Amino acid sequence: MAQVVLKDLVKTYGSVYAAKDVSLTVNDGEFVALVGPSGCGKTTTLNLVAGLIPITSGDIVIGDRIVNDLDPKDRDIAMVFQNYALYPQKSVFQNLAFPLQMRKLAKEEIERKVLDAAKVLDITHLLERKPRELSGGQQQRVALGRALVRDPAVFLMDEPLSNLDAKLRVQMRSEIKRFHQDLNATIIYVTHDQLEAVTMADKMAVMNGGLLQQYDSPANVFANPVNMFVASFVGSPAMSLVPLEVANQDGRTVLKSPEGWSLPLSDANARKAATLTSRKVVLGARHSTIKLHKGQVEGAVPAKVYTVEPTGDITFVQAFLSSSIVNISLPPSVQVAPDEMVWLEFDQDRIHLFDGETEMALR
């Protein structure tokens, strides 16, 4: 396996920057997810690494080679695509063997590699079947097998689970994670699904508008999002973001709403608020950190319930706070109804504050 380094990678289409100065290092054996909304540049970035499209500027290093000008076949990579790209007329065995035959490997070696890969992916019993005789999950495993037999330095995967139904997706998620652990493979994995990235990857590269927003472990991205985009993209339900103003009230720093309520800040949060570039601030809080009270409580602020969604073990509530929707999770024993007035208490140690002008997290 090998490490992959992207240095100031740029890809433009006319005036559109599909990737803009993307720099990151994927360490040897690491599983990195490129994640972001449609059009953010994740597939472009993967295709640049694969060599499927030429770069505008920057460098791509795989192992110890700059591969900018190498053909895909010379980059020592294997790709797994969303549509599996299996040969319909060939059996599973022939699908796995084909890339090795192209490399002119000896027959015995091909057979050994195919059987080894089939064993890893638990598809030995399917080797004589044609792709159309396989379920979606089995086809996906064959596609992984075809990448595996090539024994590449890096696996590149583009939304490999998006054609599977929800249940199978969850199952294959664990299998790909296991595949990574067992092989200690270097994997770059594109997905629009933040949950896939959070659950599978060692590191996630969150992209938006061609720009790399944050590159860190899922736990750090979740706990310390660098800006409002990352804060709202990672986590489900999304982090609630409430635009407010910072003010001084009787010597204390508070967050003030246009409706007139105010929320005093702890000393640590007041110090963060002191770094604001204007009075505009955005309060961020995750659903599990907000306490809902049915009566007025000191330090809590008034909100109006909008929707109530019981899911069995957790009830998700959306409420209007000022003019923003806030997500809250409750145990099913707490009953609330749409349009009910409630009071929300924020955990000062777990709220996030963002600059209302720059949208950057206050540190």
Find where tokens 């409420």 sit. 319
Which residue in 30, 43, 114, 126 binds ligand ATP (CB under 6 A)?
43
Q: Which two tokens stand for residue 245?
A: 């103003």
Q: Cis check for the bond before 302: say yes or no (omega within 30 of 0).
A: no
Q: Does 51 bind ligand ATP (CB under 6 A)?
A: no
Residue 354 to residue 227: CA distance in whole angstroms? 7
Q: Strands 154-158 and 187-191, how do they pair? A: parallel
Nearest to ligand ATP of 45, 329 (CB atom): 45
In angstroms, what is the minimal distance from the CB of 83 to ligand ATP?
13
Interface with ligand ATP (CB under 6 A), residue from 8, 16, 69, 274: 16
**Tokens 């002191």, residue located:** 274
Q: Is 40 in the site for ligand ATP (CB under 6 A)?
A: yes
> Which amino acid does the sequence have at 292?
L
3-state secondary structure of 341: strand
State the nearest-atom distance from the C-beta of 198 to ligand ATP, in Å. 17
Q: Choose between 192 and 272: whose C-beta lies nearer to ligand ATP.
A: 192
Question: If we measure between CA atoms, which residue out of 25, 1, 26, 22 comes closest to residue 12?
Answer: 22
Quick one: 111 exposed, middle or buried, by C-beta within 10 A (0-12, 13-18, 19+)? Answer: middle
Segment 162 to 221, residues that bind ligand ATP, using CB under 6 A: 192
Q: How far is the CB of 227 from ligand ATP (least distance, A)?
A: 18
Cα–Cα distance, 246 to 252 (Å, whole number):
10
Residue 246 touches ligand ATP, criterion: CB under 6 A = no
When the beta carbons of 210 and 225 are compared against ligand ATP, the nearer one is 210
Scanning the structure block, which residue is given the tokens 């035959």?
A: 101
Q: Which stretch binds ligand ATP (CB under 6 A): 42-50, 70-78, 292-300, 355-363?
A: 42-50
For residues 290-319, which are near ligand ATP according to CB under 6 A? Answer: none
Tell me the C-alpha distance between 170 and 153, whole Å. Answer: 26
**Beta partners for residue 77, in sequence order:** 154
Single out the residue of 38, 71, 251, 363 in contact with ligand ATP (rule: CB under 6 A).
Answer: 38
Binding segment (CB under 6 A) for ligand ATP, from list 39-47, 176-184, 237-245, 329-337: 39-47
Pairing between strand 65-66 and 262-264? Answer: unpaired
State which residue, 29 or 39, has the beta carbon closest to ligand ATP.
39
Q: Is 87 in the site for ligand ATP (CB under 6 A)?
A: no
Q: How far is the CB of 298 from ligand ATP (least distance, A)?
A: 46
How many C-beta neighbours within 10 Å does residue 35 have? Answer: 27
Among 20, 30, 42, 263, binds ligand ATP (CB under 6 A): 42
Contact 146, 95 (CB under 8 A): yes
Provide the minimum distance between the beta carbon of 200 and ligand ATP in the complex, in angstroms, as a whole number: 17
| Count, residues near ligand ATP per rule CB under 6 A | 12
Nearest approach, Cβ of 55 to ligand ATP (angstroms)? 13
Nearest by Cα to 269 from 258, 282, 257: 282
Nearest Cα neighbor of 135 from 164, 177, 160 is 164
Minimal distance, residue 293 CB to ligand ATP, in Å: 41
Task: State the minimum distance, in angstroms, from the CB of residue 115 to ligand ATP.
Answer: 35
Question: How far is Cα 180 from Cα 30, in angstroms, rounded to an integer?
Answer: 8
Q: Where are the beta strands (DSSP E) in the chain?
A: 4-13, 16-26, 31-35, 57-62, 65-66, 77-80, 154-158, 187-191, 203-208, 211-216, 240-249, 252-256, 262-264, 280-285, 290-293, 301-310, 315-321, 324-330, 341-346, 352-355
20 scored as a contact of ligand ATP (CB under 6 A): no
Q: How far is the CB of 90 from ligand ATP (least distance, A)?
A: 28
How near is the Cβ of 268 to ligand ATP at its closest, in Å?
36
Q: Which two tokens stand for residue 210?
A: 């061609």
Rounded Cα distance between 329 and 292, Å, is 9
Query: Which CB atom, from 14 or from 260, has the smaller least distance to ligand ATP?
Result: 14
Q: Contact between 328 and ligand ATP (CB under 6 A)? A: no
Query: Which CB sits closer to ligand ATP, 11 or 180?
Result: 11
Site residues for ligand ATP per CB under 6 A: 13, 16, 18, 36, 38-44, 192
